[in-house]
Amino acid sequence: MTNDLKHLPRVGENPEMTPQALADNFRDLHPPLTERQAVIESQRCLYCYDAPCIEACPSDIDIPRFIRQIGEGNINGAAQTILEQNILGGSCARVCPTEILCEQSCVRNHDAECQPVLIGLLQRYATDHMNFDQHPFARTADSGRTIAVVGAGPAGLACAHRLTMLGHRVVIFEAEAKPGGLNEYGIARYKMTDDFARKEVEFLLEIGGIEIRYGQRLGDNLNLERLHADYDSVFLGLGLGASRALGLTGEDAPGLAPAVDYIKELRQADDLGELPLAKRCVVIGAGNTAIDMATQMARLGADEVTLVYRRGVEAMSATDHEQEIARANGVRILTWARPLQVLLDDGGRVAGMRFEKTHEQDGRLVGTDETFEIAADAVFKAIGQSFAEASLADPLAVELERDGERIRVDGSFRTSLPNVYAGGDCIAPGQDLTVQAVQHGKLAAHAIHQDLMAKQEAA
């Protein structure tokens, strides 16, 4: 990504973007609750018998129970209630769109009550302040079985942790140099501060029985056929590793880059002042990645940041809350416009983008032939991730049944190949949320365990 933007000035060249200003701009988006605030907020919960918030939680956390435990001062108990269903409950408390899940379903979420119980912040309070003498979950007797997990993202980590609880040994094969997946590389820096993703993985690994091998990429120095032969079962938590293309001439020009690549570099940067900065920036997309990219560029000191989407605001996958964050940071959101042409300067670098206005006709998106241009030093595409086809190119992997580009699984996350399971973003589209990936990994682990035990009994 740096080569695409190396001609741009550095963030630190802007005298207003001092180290202190940058630190302030990338502090916690939502400051954590104090002890007093947490206790008071916990007392707003009605502890509903048929709690709709639990129904809305993709990982089935007993929300009223952990909130009651906070109110009683039992922080470790609250944390354990959360973690027994979602071992990555700390990161999910930070990035989960609670405003459209549990908090939207809260019975206090109506005008007379002002706002729902702040479930996400209470979950963060519990997981931030837990203080266990040892890992809260113990391994059962060693089964003698070893499972290969491909990908140390939320799905793979959750699967590995639950498998070790059930007595199995796990080897995780991770392409990157660090574990965590999107939590480590793809979340806006102001949503996951203080190296939290690393600390959470370190806590997860304290259970023991999990080995992580880095620099292992399926389709490169690793293949499914070998994993299938060497391990009792295989779980694929591959995610989506390739950025979708706009399909326009000039897409490889300096100044046009995938948003996920820039966010990854921003997340790993020790000095934000060294990052390339587009003073005039266009982001193409409508999801949380587009919002994160646009907002962070604004916080880095860009003068103009415009997010452009081909449909209307109501069709954007980013929540209203996320959109408001972008607008509060000065991001201009333009809808009903699709990219038509990359504009280049005399040196072949990005100078802007030409768009065509669109509208919906009989349920289809159509162009109006009316165009406009936006000048920009850089254009970031955030139009979704696609499956990296090379990862499933070996003779066994190509036999996996697919739904489009995604891996097909049954209700227990079994693929079409025996002893091969999959979960997270690499399977049929769902909500594409961290919390959903965690649930996939957890449920897949139980399916793997049940299948292994059934074979053992049959033998």
| Digit-coded pLDDT (tens) for 373-392 | 999 999 999 998 888 888 88
Residue 390 is predicted with a pLDDT of: 85
Single out the residue of 170, 172, 190 nearest to residue 181, CA to CA.
Answer: 172
Rounded to 5 degrees, φ, ψ at 439 are -65, -40
Q: What residue ranges define each of the domains in the chain, with the CATH number in brackets?
A: 35-129 (1.10.1060.10), 146-241+387-458 (3.50.50.60), 243-385 (3.50.50.60)
- pTM recorded for the entire structure: 0.94
| Digit-coded pLDDT (tens) for 418-435 | 999 999 999 977 667 899
Gap between the Cα atoms of 277 and 13, Å rounded: 9
Q: In the structure, what pLDDT confidence band is assigned to residue 15 with cuts at 50, 70 and 90?
A: very high
Residue 456 is predicted with a pLDDT of: 78
Mean pLDDT, to the nearest integer, of 20-40? 94
